[in-house]
Amino acid sequence: MSRRFFSSSVCGPVSLALIGLAMVAHAQTDGFPPFAFKVDSMFFSNASVRLAGAFLKPDGDGPFPAIVMAHGAGPATFDEPAFRIHANAFVRGGFAVLLYDKRGSGKSTGMLDTSDYDDLADDLAAGVTYLRARRDIIPEQIGILGRSEGGWVGTLAASRDSMIRFVILSSGSGVRPYEQVIFSTVTALRAMGASSQEVEGAMAAKSAQWDYYRKVMKMDSVAGISAAMQAERDSLVNRLRSFSRFAPQVPQNLRDPARTPSAFFQAFTHKIDYDPAPAFRAARAALLEVIGANDEVVEPASTIAVFEGLRQSGRDVTVRILPGVGHPLIIMTKDGLRYPEDYPEFAVRWARAVIERKSK
């Protein structure tokens, strides 16, 4: 089955390193359902970044509970297929929905390549602030849904805001990006027919790329990069090119420190080495992890273990495993691709139950 559905496109060196976290390109002519409700365009800001958004709500004056949706890895706009389908389900379930173009995408400003999860979580928090200022929204009944990488972003935002009621992680990962990318890359390489020796060599080369970026990040200035660092880069370029048939799983474009903003290397390193555990522990919101039993990007066993550990510690955590589906959470039927029968409606019912439970 093709995996080019339901998520964000992958481009640029940062996204190539995190390629397992987003599998799909957006297309307006994708054949999936359009928004079923009126879409109001709007903007909100996080400091100097202006984010272009879309607001949907049920009929009537409200006030309504609400949900903000966070993208997976790579550039993405508010109207990608996964968000349209999730938004329709939540509006039908009585929620208002806020979507937005990711920074650097669509009509939003900002630079994605030089942004880390703190920046993306701040964008999400700005959306929550926008919702709380609206008269048709119940300020204390706002939640977040994050697709793939957006699960990390959503829980990070929630860890800083005790009023956020819930976070839904749709194919979200419970482990570090470093571990996650190793799993997704190894899985993809094996699917491409790589031998065990090729997998080992390709992963060693990819890890060496991350190490090189870490070294660059620690430099006081990249303007006067040493001959030794340049020689190391040249050697690494040749090493990566020896695995060119496994691109884009093994990146072929190694950033030159002399021609790349230092903020890129800082953002890249912060993302690949991000530890989600403190945010998971600090977030007071109820958590729902929805994962496909056959997820080829997020390893089900390690992620389920993280959330089960949180649940056993007394946290309000639910894990829903969807049989027979991979990272996009879709199945093939005689009528085409779709989500399983009970999803995303299950997520809507769960969110409604959380709000009603905490409102009593």
pLDDT in tens, the chain (360 residues): 333 333 333 333 344 334 334 333 333 446 678 899 999 999 999 999 999 999 999 999 989 999 999 999 999 999 999 999 999 999 999 999 999 999 999 999 999 999 999 999 999 999 999 999 999 999 999 999 999 999 999 999 999 999 999 999 999 999 999 999 999 999 999 999 999 999 999 999 999 999 999 999 988 665 567 788 888 999 999 999 999 999 999 988 899 888 888 899 999 999 999 999 999 999 999 999 999 999 999 999 999 999 999 999 999 999 999 999 999 998 877 777 789 889 999 999 999 999 998 766
Query: What is the spatial distance between Cα 49 and Cα 109, in angstroms, rounded to a whole number?
Result: 6
The last residue of a domain, from among 272, 292, 316 = 272
Looking at the structure of the chain, the number of domains it has is: 2
Query: Are 347 and 296 in the same domain?
Result: yes
> Residue 97 has what pLDDT?
98
Q: Is residue 354 part of a domain?
A: yes
For residue 122, is it within any domain? yes
Could you tell me the two tokens for 193?
């027919």
Give the model's pLDDT for residue 14.
42
Q: What is the rounded CA–CA span in Å between residue 67 and residue 354?
A: 13
158 contacts: CB under 8 Å, gap ≥ 6: 144, 164, 167, 279, 283, 284, 285
Query: Is there a domain that residue 1 lies in?
Result: no
Per-residue DSSP letter, 78: T
Q: Say how far apart CA 332 and CA 1 lie, in whole Å.
A: 8
Same domain, 159 and 55: yes
In this structure, are residues 329 and 24 in contact, taking their beta carbons and an 8 Å threshold? no
SS (H, E, C) 335-356: CEEECCCCCCHHHHHHHHHHHH
Residue 357 has a pLDDT of: 86
Q: Say yes or no: 284 and 266 in one domain.
A: no
Instruction: Say whether both 172 and 290 belong to one domain.
Output: yes
Answer yes or no: do 148 and 226 share one domain: no
- Choose one of 252, 272, 292: the last residue of a domain: 272
5 domain-assigned: no
| 3 falls within a domain | no
User: Domain of 320: which CATH number?
Assistant: 3.40.50.1820
Q: With respect to residue 186, please indicate whether it lies within any of the assigned structural domains.
A: no
Report the candidate in 163, 3, 4 with the shortest Cα–Cα distance to residue 68: 163
Shared domain for 218 and 267, answered yes or no, is yes
Contact between 272 and 177 (Cβ < 8 Å): yes
Q: Report the candidate in 316, 321, 322 with the shortest Cα–Cα distance to residue 351.
A: 316
- Pick the closest to residue 285 from 171, 186, 155, 115 (CA basis): 155
- Indicate whether 199 and 89 sit together in one domain: no
pLDDT for the residue 20: 35
Residue type, 185: T
Q: Are both 56 and 70 inside the same structural domain?
A: yes
- 31 and 163 share one domain: yes
The secondary structure of residue 85, as a DSSP letter, is: H
What's the chain's Rg over C-alpha atoms? 20
The reply to whether 86 falls in a domain is yes
Residue 169's pLDDT is what? 98
Specify if 238 maps to a domain.
yes
Residues 250 and 117 in one domain: no
Query: What's the domain range around 290?
Result: 12-176+275-359
Among residues 356, 360, 294, 328, the alpha carbon closest in space to that of 141 is found at 356
Looking at the fold, whether 256 and 289 belong to one and the same domain comes out as: no
pTM: 0.89
Tell me, yes or no, whether 231 and 266 share the same domain. yes
Q: What pLDDT is stored for residue 220 in this prediction?
A: 67
Q: Which of 207, 238, 272 is the last residue of a domain?
A: 272
Q: How far is CA 14 from CA 75, 264, 319, in A?
A: 11, 8, 29
